[in-house]
Structure formats: C-alpha cells, structure tokens
Amino acid sequence: MTKEAPVHRLKPPAKTTRALAARLKEVARIGALFVEGDFLEEVFASGRDWKSGDDINFAHAPYIELKRTVLRIERIADFRCFATLALIRRDDPAKAEAVVCGMRNPFGIAPVPMTPAMLRCVKKGEITSETESGRVRAFAPIANSDGETVGFLMVHTG
C-alpha cells in the first residue's frame, strides 16, 4: 500500500466533467463494497448520537475501522481524490452528516440538506454523481447487514 502523496502536490487529471464523474462513480462503487454498514450505523458512542461541538463522541472501534477503509478508498484512483462517509440523520432524514472523512471534510461540521443526487443514491440505491460549484462528486449507498441504507460514501476531488 502506498501512502498518499502530500495533498498539495497531486491534482486530478484534466478530464471532462462526464469522464471525471464516471471515474469517481467507479471509485465509489468499489469503495462502498468495503465499507461495513453496521459500523457506520454504530459510529457514535452509545447515547451520544447527533451531538455537536465538543459533545460529539464517536465509538472508537467502529470509527477506526471505517477511517482505515476511507483512507484506502482514497488510494483506489490514480489521481487525487477524497472519500467521506455520511450518515442519514435519523432525526431528520432529509439531511446527511459527514462522520468519517479521509483527508478532506467537504461538509464541514454541521449536517447538510441532501441534494437530489444524494437522495437518489440513498432512496433508490443508485450510484450517482453531481457537479457542485464546479466540482464533481459521486455517491454510493451504504447499507447495514439488514439491507437498510444508513448512509452513503462520497468520493470527490476536493
């Protein structure tokens, strides 16, 4: 396994948006195969889900497994890309919250309303993509072992 090169040195290849989206969707499809949905579902420490600020508290064991996976997903492509695991908010299903980021956090610290591409991903189980502020990103659904979609993997170029 080759550790990633410094973030500031690698750039995505010059591709058309459509070609880049296809590449990112392929990374998302492969990456999602290796994400344990049960771990994602159990990522918060017991009784401490959906907190903010210093009250956020993750369960160490599932988090570490997911983080290692996300870092490896970022190395699937031969160009620089980033991976993030987001949970559907159980208390507000129209929103998603990034919980495990590789080397970039595209959402920031607050939950975000899901875009049409995210909603299509989690509701229909599709691998989707969108262009947001000129940046391409792809989504793959993550299901738990009962087959319930609990979140998604987002792959993007930063």
Partner 1 sequence: MTRQARSSLSLDVLSEWVRVDPVSGDVVDLAALRVPGAAALRDTDGAVRLAGARNEYVSFQVIVRNGGRRIRDVRLSFGGLAGPSGARIGRREFEPHVQWYHHVEPHGWIPDALVPLKWVEGSVGVPWRAAGVPKQTVQGFWIDLFVPPDSPPGPYQGQLLVALDGEKQSLPIRLEVWPFAVPDECSMVADMNAYAPGIVRGWEGHEHSPGLLNAWKGLDSFDACGTVAYRTAERNTFRCAHDHRSLYHYLPYAHSGSIPHPSFIPELAGEGKAIRVKSWAAFDQHFGGYLDGSAFKGTRRGPIPLPFMYTPQNFHWPADFAKFGRKGYRTEWRRVGAKFVEHFRTKGWTRTRFELFFNHKQRYKYFPWDGDEIKFLEDTDHMYLFRDLSAGVYDAADPVQFIWRVDSSWVFPAHCRTDLGEFVKLWVVNSSYQAEAPDGVNLLHERGCSVFHYGGASPLDAPLSWVWLWPLRTLGRGNDGFTWWLTTGWSPDIWRRSHDNYATCVFYPASPWGRLDVLGGIRAKALRNAMQTIEYAALLDRKRGPGTAIALVNQALGTSDDSWWGEPFPADPLSWEGVRRRLASALMA
Look-up of token digits 């570490």? 64
**Closest listed residue to residue 122, CA positions, set 156, 88, 85:** 88
The nearer residue to partner 1, 14 or 110, going by C-beta atoms, is: 110
**Closest listed residue to residue 43, CA positions, set 97, 111, 102, 115:** 97
In the range 47-86, which residues lie near partner 1 by CB under 8 A? 52-60, 63-64, 67-68, 71-72, 84
The nearer residue to partner 1, 3 or 145, going by C-beta atoms, is: 3
* Residue 135 binds to partner 1 (criterion: CB under 8 A): no
For 9-24, give one letter per residue: b (16+ CB within 10 A) or e. Answer: eeebeeeeeeebbebb
What is the closest distance, in whole angstroms, from the C-beta atom of residue 78 to partner 1 in the complex?
Answer: 17
Q: Which stretch binds partner 1 (CB under 8 A): 22-30, 31-39, 92-100, 139-147?
A: 92-100
Non-local (6+) Cβ contacts of 67 within 8 A are 100, 102
Non-local (6+) Cβ contacts of 61 within 8 A are none
The nearer residue to partner 1, 1 or 16, going by C-beta atoms, is: 1
The nearer residue to partner 1, 22 or 56, going by C-beta atoms, is: 56
Cβ 129 vs Cβ 136: under 8 Å: yes
Residues 13, 17, 90, 109: which binds partner 1 (CB under 8 A)?
A: 109
Backbone angles phi, psi at 84, to 5 degrees: -140, 140
What is the closest distance, in whole angstroms, from the C-beta atom of residue 45 to partner 1 in the complex?
Answer: 7
Residues that bind partner 1 (CB under 8 A): 1-3, 6-8, 45, 52-60, 63-64, 67-68, 71-72, 84, 98-105, 107, 109
